[in-house]
Structure 1
Amino acid sequence: MKKKVIVIGAGVAGLASAIRLQHAGFQVEIHEKEAIAGGKMHRIEKDGFQFDLGPTIVMMPELYREIFELVGRDPDDYILMERLDPMYSVFFGSGKKGYHEVSSDLVQLMKSFEHASEKDAEGFLKYLQLIYERFLVAKNHFLQRPFRKKMDFYNPSTLYQALKLKTFDSADNFISKYVKNEQLKQMISFQTLYIGVSPYNGPSLYSMIPMIEFFYGVWFIKGGMYTMAKSMEQLFLELGGKISYQSTVEEILIENHVAKGIKVKRKDIYSDYVLCNADFPYALKHLVTDKKSKGKYTDEKIGKMDYSCSCFILYLGMNRKIEEFNTAHSFFFGDDLKENLEDIFAGKKLNNPSFYAYNASKLDPTLAPEGKDGLYILVPVSDLSTAKYEWTEETITYYRSQVLNTLSQVEGLEEIEADIISESYMTPIDFREKFNAYNGACFGLRPTLTQSNHLRPQSKAQACDNLYFTGSSTHPGAGVPIVLLSAKIATEELILDDSVSNKSKQPVHIAGGVVNEGS
């Protein structure tokens, strides 16, 4: 008889974990509080426009494809990808102080750097070499392995590799050693915001994110990012898995420090294992009610941990095609990016905020009505525990006006507000209420030095058996590709424990009879 695994949440890591476990021979059942799959990889549909709710940039496509290849399927039958070049555009001061299109073609990229300074071009190549070396160390020794015990990290071999990462500098300081031009430097450091941390105080290792873009490119999935979520849902169901939607988990059932199942609508549902894709801080505080099974992650500790930034996102249906953007992905940097990012993590309301604009219908016209475009605009803002202001209609109007004022300074977009025919938005409160993102922090726990690798929550619960965690607040961290790795780690941990459990129960033949090994 197959052992049963309950997966809490049909987010990216929950779906990927469920597929892996179903393929490994378990009976897997997902319980999801929303009506559709995807978690923050959700979709908003309004007035004929379709928007990805959260993640939009596809990096490391091999990790997206891996989940389909694992079970013998052709990824192209599920997720059609195309590589983008240029990858994105960067506007400085609405383009009036500078505009760059960033290519992953090294020839074109070098031309951009040489145009600014041959010295910066030389420094850029040095940065690429050094961060690539650190990337290989991280990939081979840290990102794809668990740290269940202290000795998994605190041993001579791992400590030697950790020293190679040289993580004690910030991403900005590291890049500044090699690139002096401020605009070029910002172009290859802001990507740490993809995981919710500022390049000015985030560990230098995370400057590997732009390196991954430059070496491996940025991709687009036809139909938008939500296609990935729908395709994983489809694959899981094809494998025989079960999903219960609008099924809000109220509690993880724990007896004698062993997870036994979940409680939904006051009904106990039992299983052999529980794998939780709900945001780790939320889960420990609200779903694990047995205090001893929380281990070191008490409610007090959860409250004191550092959280990533949050997001304010506008979804704008436009009454025409937006030809003023040459690329689907565009980044707008305010007059003082450093001050802007410092204010986010200081809880201040932003003046002239930097933001990201995405026009998916430029790549796939089916995502908007004919002759129209949908603009997704994301403003990084403070998480709810840090913000020194409330999210009211006045706050929403303030940020909306700031964004539209910046866009209206782009040639051809002077009357952009008049072109808006459909509008919706997400605030940090929405991320907290809809997706249980603790403090509305879209990227979970901030990846500081004291909240990374072995110091980040691990897949295997430390104080409770048969309970596992996955998602952006667990090791190895946030971002869709990295979250897919967290699913791989969590399922491998569960399968390992199950194999050990099975082995301990195997009958051992001895003279005169049969006993269970380990009894």
Structure 2
Amino acid sequence: MHKNKSIIVVGAGVAGLASAIRLQHAGYQVSLYEKESMPGGKMHRIEKDGYQFDLGPSIVMMPELYREVFELAGRDPDDYIPMDKLEPMYTAFFGENKEDSYNMSSDNAELMKTLESFGDEDASGFLKYLQTIHERFLTAKHHFIQRPFRSPWEVLHPSVLRQAAKLRTLGSADTFVGKFIKNKRLKEMISFQTLYIGVSPYNGPSLYTMIPMIEHLYGVWFIKGGMYTMAASMERLFLELGGDVHYNSPVEEILIENRQAYGIRTGGQEVHADHVVCNADFPYAMKHLVTDEKAKGKYTDKKIDRMKYSCSCFIMYLGMDKKYEGRVNVHNFVFGKDLKENIEDIFAGRKLEHPSFYVHIGSKMDPSMAPEGKDGLYILMPVSDLSTADYKWNEDTVAYYRSRVFEELEKIEGFENMEDHIVSETHMTPPDFESKFYAHNGACFGLRPNLMQSNHMRPQSKAPKCENLYFAGSSTHPGAGVPIVLLSARIASEELIADDQADQVQKRRGGAHAGEK
């Protein structure tokens, strides 16, 4: 049906790759243009001195959404992204001496041991929290997360309003968790996970406490070779389906005339297509790729600059000369002295004095990601985005945060004298995310998913003031995080196909009426 229809996808990030696969499978001829030399966007890989690191995302949740991309094309996902379930899911380290650690298990019996160590009341409260947020998750899943909002008025439909009332989104994540759990540490272990999508638990919507619920009810997984295997495998499938990929091809402009997209400019040349799907970060795309003022609609440069952005990240990739055993696991969270102060400082733009951070050791699951007998450590610290930070990123800033990380790790058994064991080192800073991945303000997770920038108030997949142009990625509805970004690709693809089919029907009707005359 679509054999003669061509589509250009701008950007080979997660949503770009998934959109390209879906549309190529649907019968379109899809060409993917990517400024980097490899697929994945922030799902990139860093290879150095025999060590392999996932550049950005590292925690696999909701594996069915990863698998769906391959299943829809009739493939066995296990042939592309073999996964193992992690047990325990992660370890959390607390206290001045970091002697207190908690393994969070997806095994109910093991989990209850950990929960009961906080007291029977909090163990019971945790189970009540799971049930309550699971009910809201199902409402969000069926009525908001998986659907587009073509018009902001759609949300005023009585049936939608009824479902929205069930979500009770007005309270913060931290306040919501506090209704069920009193122990400070257990509460922090749940509520801090809103940082997975770049929002504070102290003012981010309570609905985002669905993240730890998803971990506990559906598990945390590891893809062999790390998260980059997902990006490389999506590229492989897209090529198998007959798609075209153009690397080292930065897109300079989305071509628009009379509010209709008709292609792109890359390398000074015009490339035309029937439709364009843009996976470049939405704020960047609206400021730099969509130059037609009418096609921008309300998303003027001023509006883009006024919008709220997620936090950014400082990430270190350390090749070590040893293996790490003992209490550390694949995923580890190290809590600083005062999590609330830490997060308030992130979103107020202050330099962090007692940062909390995450340590990922992929080579514990897949030894091929490091030289024999050695481990690679990926250490991520949430920090302010560039529009918020009241300090500059330079060598001194990197050295400051680097020393803070080592000070905290020194307190954990097995991580002593870390600097003596580093044989390879590199890092990513907020300016790197801005320059390498065009993440506006270096905000790794795109637009902040607060209430005023969620659901119908978030940029949608269909460009509101331009035909044949669609958007996918973390700054669009439904939001950030790999599984949710995969959903944005599904929505964008389905919207494009629906529009194209409606257009075909209209043309046939027009032709029939012309014939009657």
Q: Is 1:304 equivalent to 2:306 in the alignment?
A: yes
Cross-structure match for 1:145: 147
In 1, the alpha carbon distance for the partners of 2:324 and 2:288 equals: 44
The C-alpha deviation readout for 1:183-223, integer Å capped at 9, x for no partner, is 01111111111000111110000000000001001000000
What SS does the corresponding residue of 2:211 show, helix, strand or coil?
helix
The C-alpha deviation readout for 1:401-444, integer Å capped at 9, x for no partner, is 10011111112322111000000000000000000000000000
Verify the 8 A CA contact 1:90 1:333 in the aligned structure 2. yes
Q: Is 1:102 equivalent to 2:104 in the alignment?
A: yes
Verify the 8 A CA contact 1:93 1:332 in the aligned structure 2. no
- Normalising to structure 2: TM-score of the pair? 0.98
Cross-structure match for 1:129: 131
In 2, the alpha carbon distance for the partners of 1:509 and 1:190 equals: 58
Question: Structure 1's 264 and 90: CA in aligned 2 closer, same or farther, altered over 3 A?
Answer: same
Verify the 8 A CA contact 1:507 1:514 in the aligned structure 2. no
Cross-structure match for 2:347: 345
In 2, the alpha carbon distance for the partners of 1:56 and 1:404 equals: 21
Cross-structure match for 1:117: 119
Cross-structure match for 2:199: 197
Cross-structure match for 1:45: 47
The C-alpha deviation readout for 1:31-71, integer Å capped at 9, x for no partner, is 00000000000000000000000000000000000000001
Equivalent position amino acid for 2:515 in 1:
V
Deviation at 1:397, TM superposition (A): 0.4
Q: Is 1:444 equivalent to 2:457 in the alignment?
A: no
In 2, the alpha carbon distance for the partners of 1:94 and 1:46 equals: 34
Cross-structure match for 1:424: 426
* Structure 2 residue runs without a partner (length 5+): none
Equivalent position amino acid for 1:362 in 2:
K
Query: Which of 373, 376, 388 is residue 375 of structure 2 equivalent to?
Result: 373
Deviation at 1:324, TM superposition (A): 3.8
Question: Structure 1's 510 and 396: CA in aligned 2 closer, same or farther, altered over 3 A?
Answer: closer
Deviation at 1:515, TM superposition (A): 5.5
In 2, the alpha carbon distance for the partners of 1:24 and 1:156 equals: 34
Question: Structure 1's 455 and 328: CA in aligned 2 closer, same or farther, altered over 3 A?
Answer: same
Deviation at 1:332, TM superposition (A): 0.3
The C-alpha deviation readout for 1:430-459, integer Å capped at 9, x for no partner, is 000000000000000000000000000000
RMSD between aligned residues: 1.3
In 1, the alpha carbon distance for the partners of 2:195 and 2:125 equals: 23
In 2, the alpha carbon distance for the partners of 1:486 and 1:37 equals: 18
Q: Percent identity, aligned pairs only?
A: 66
In 1, the alpha carbon distance for the partners of 2:512 and 2:234 equals: 47
Cross-structure match for 1:514: 515
Deviation at 1:325, TM superposition (A): 4.2
What SS does the corresponding residue of 1:161 show, helix, strand or coil?
helix
In 2, the alpha carbon distance for the partners of 1:116 and 1:264 equals: 58
The C-alpha deviation readout for 1:329-349, integer Å capped at 9, x for no partner, is 000000100000000000000
Equivalent position amino acid for 2:219 in 1:
G
Note the 1:63-102 alignment, pairs <5 A.
63-93=65-95, 96=98, 98-102=100-104
Deviation at 1:95, TM superposition (A): 5.3
Cross-structure match for 1:335: 337
Note the 1:4-403 alignment, pairs <5 A.
4-93=6-95, 96=98, 98-403=100-405
- Normalising to structure 1: TM-score of the pair? 0.98
Deviation at 1:116, TM superposition (A): 1.4
In 2, the alpha carbon distance for the partners of 1:274 and 1:100 equals: 48
Verify the 8 A CA contact 1:87 1:329 in the aligned structure 2. yes
What SS does the corresponding residue of 1:274 show, helix, strand or coil?
strand
Deviation at 1:507, TM superposition (A): 5.4
Deviates more, 1:197-206 or 1:109-118: 109-118
What SS does the corresponding residue of 1:178 show, helix, strand or coil?
coil
Cross-structure match for 1:487: 489
In 2, the alpha carbon distance for the partners of 1:469 and 1:72 equals: 26
Cross-structure match for 1:454: 456
